[in-house]
Amino acid sequence: MEEPKEPKEERKESKERKETPENRENVYLLTYSFNQDFSNFVAGTTAGFRVFGVAGQRAPAEKGAGYAAAPAPTSPVEELRRREHSPGLQHSAVMHISMLNKTSIFAMATLSLERQGEGLASMNKVQIWDEKKQKTVAELRCRNEVKGVYLHKDVIVMVCEYVIYVYTSGDRLKVILHLDTGSNKLGLCALAYGSDPCIICCPAQNRGAVRIQVGQDAQATHVFQAHQSGLAALALTTSGSLVATASETGTVMKVFRTADGEALYRLRRSTRAAHISCLTFRDDAFLAVASSSVTVHIFKLDNATAAEVEDPEKENSAHASPALKPAPEPWPRLTALQTLQHKGAEVLRGLTPQYLADLRSFGQFRVPDMDGGPALDTRSRLSHIAGPILAFHKTEPRLYVLHYNGFLYECGFQPDGDPTTTQECTFLSATAWFANRPEFTLATGERKTEPGETDGEEWQLL
């Protein structure tokens, strides 16, 4: 089956948004993403890419002092590598990029600034970049424009608007899965980085539906309806036991059990529409939500918390409480496809609880100085960044907010706070990590390897 061609209006839009020559001396932000354990993030720019490290664990606060009393680090972010205007990336803008753990391996889709009017012609391949060798060591090509790229230790995922290609990593890069989707202009896809085999979550062919793919097993694949409108964001827990979804409306998020598509929570962000830019789990306990608005929300996925705001008419199956099902069990063996379809039909009958049944945010953080819009905007006109992206601290109740205004914010929250009220997260720090000036740098020393940390594994690609 031949993949659909790119709409002509998209190519026209790309041509109209072409970077002007007089602005090329500046560097603009095109994309950013955290690696699998949130220890690093990588930014694609109009000149190449940059790699940053997030500060290690902060010393715990004294007992009774609260998390806000913890001493602030001298610099919560440091620039580790800058690969711009380099051989192999000359006149190339990095539109999509993904980093494999802490290795030197990156997967990226680039756009030639001198051929950007061609659109599709220069965005139909993914380059595998080895930073140690400082060159492209492999290429994956397709006939459609690349909308996103994701890495797992076992696979490389290339996302196009109507199809997702899954490649093996290792010596020979070959397609092992060809997943048809509905229109996926945002390049949505989520991987469970701690699962074996790899669990992939992506849009299904029907609008608002989600597909769960477990390895290459066709019997382990199932589809369920998450929203009536199109999907705007997806996220999986590290183990792959839960999936969070957001629609284009952006007012309500949902959490499902991936094993059978059963709905567990409805999360109410606001009554005002917004574009959801990021969903991030911390284990199976918290979900953070970022959007085009100025407020970041943290939800506590807890049945006891849900009981505080449940719908009085919970006995009515049409008005379920926020915790629609019991707390998720460890990943079970998937049942037959017919059984999953039946369960999906049961879920659909309970997807419209009343407004008061929605679980409200447990904590909120307002991005400073954003009431009238961002004072700084480092994005290129070619960028599709809609809002900040988020990462939880590995061990402490803290959240990092990486913003396109060039700042990384750090805030803290009380995980055992009163579930009946929404707590205001504590502002801890703000660090400027990006600016459009080519000479802008972070004043950091040489990065030291922590005990037990290595450079990671290298793929033998060629």
- pLDDT over 80 (residue 8): no
Residues 6+ apart with CB under 8 A from 155: 166, 167, 168, 169, 176, 191, 198
Residues 6+ apart with CB under 8 A from 163: 3, 144, 178, 179, 180, 181
The pLDDT assigned to 443 comes to 62
pTM of the full predicted structure? 0.79
Per-residue three-class SS string for the chain = CCCCCCCHHHHHHHHHCCCCHHHCCCCCEEEEEECCCCCEEEEEECCEEEEEEECCCCCCCCCCCCHHHCCCCCCCEEEEEEEECCCCCCCEEEEEEEECCCCCEEEEEEEECCCHHHHHHHCCEEEEEECCCCEEEEEEECCCCEEEEEECCCEEEEEECCEEEEEECCCCCCEEEEEECCCCCCCCCEEECCCCCCEEEEECCCCCEEEEEECCCHHHCEEEECCCCCEEEEEECCCCCEEEEEECCCCEEEEEECCCCEEEEEEECCCCCCCEEEEEEECCCEEEEEECCCEEEEEECCHHHHHCCCCCCCCCCCCCCCCCCCCCCCCCCCCCHHHHHHHHHHHHCCCCCCHHHCEECCEEEECCCCCCCCCCCCECCCCCCCCCEEEECCCCCEEEEECCCCEEEEEECCCCCCCCCCEECEEEEEEECCCCCCCCCCCCCCCCCCCCCCCCCCCCCC
Tracing tokens 């990486």 back to the chain, one arrives at 402
Which residue has better confidence, 22 or 301? 301
CA-CA distances (angstroms) from residue 16 to 108, 335, 381, 382, 384? 24, 50, 10, 10, 15
Q: What is the mean pLDDT of residues 415-441?
A: 92
Total residue length of the chain: 462
The pLDDT assigned to 176 comes to 92
Which residue has better confidence, 423 or 418? 423
Q: Which pair of tokens denotes residue 236?
A: 């999986």
- pLDDT over 50 (residue 337): no
Residues 6+ apart with CB under 8 A from 443: none
Domain 1-17+28-47+85-187 has CATH 3.40.50.970: no
Q: Shortest CA distance to 97 belongs to which of 166, 155, 148?
A: 148
Q: What is the mean pLDDT of residues 264-287?
A: 92
Q: What is the mean pLDDT of residues 147-174?
A: 91
Which residue has better confidence, 306 or 63? 306
Q: Shortest CA distance to 61 belongs to which of 72, 73, 69, 51?
A: 69
The Cα–Cα gap between 385 and 381 comes to 10
- pLDDT over 50 (residue 351): no
Mean pLDDT, the chain, whole residue set: 78
The Cα–Cα gap between 217 and 212 comes to 11
CA angle 427, 442, 81 (to 5 degrees): 115
Query: Which of 211-220, 309-318, 362-371 is predicted least confidently?
Result: 309-318
The pLDDT assigned to 372 comes to 59
* Ranges of each domain in the chain: 1-17+28-47+85-187
For residues 139 and 428, is the Cβ–Cβ distance under 8 A?
A: no
- pLDDT over 90 (residue 244): yes
Q: Which pair of tokens denotes residue 427?
A: 């502002």
Which residue has better confidence, 203 or 112? 203
Which residue has better confidence, 131 or 338? 131
- pLDDT over 90 (residue 310): no
- pLDDT over 80 (residue 291): yes
- pLDDT over 90 (residue 400): yes
The Cα–Cα gap between 181 and 163 comes to 5
For residues 437 and 376, is the Cβ–Cβ distance under 8 A?
A: no
Question: Which pLDDT band, with edges at 50, 70 and 90, does 42 fall under?
Answer: very high
- pLDDT over 50 (residue 318): no
Of the ranges 29-43, 303-317, 319-333, 349-363, which is most confident?
29-43
Question: Which pLDDT band, with edges at 50, 70 and 90, does 219 fall under?
Answer: confident
Looking at the chain, the whole-number percentage of residues with pLDDT higher than 70 is 71
The pLDDT assigned to 196 comes to 87
Strand partners, 54: 77
Q: What is the mean pLDDT of residues 151-169?
A: 93
The pLDDT assigned to 86 comes to 80
The Cα–Cα gap between 250 and 272 comes to 8
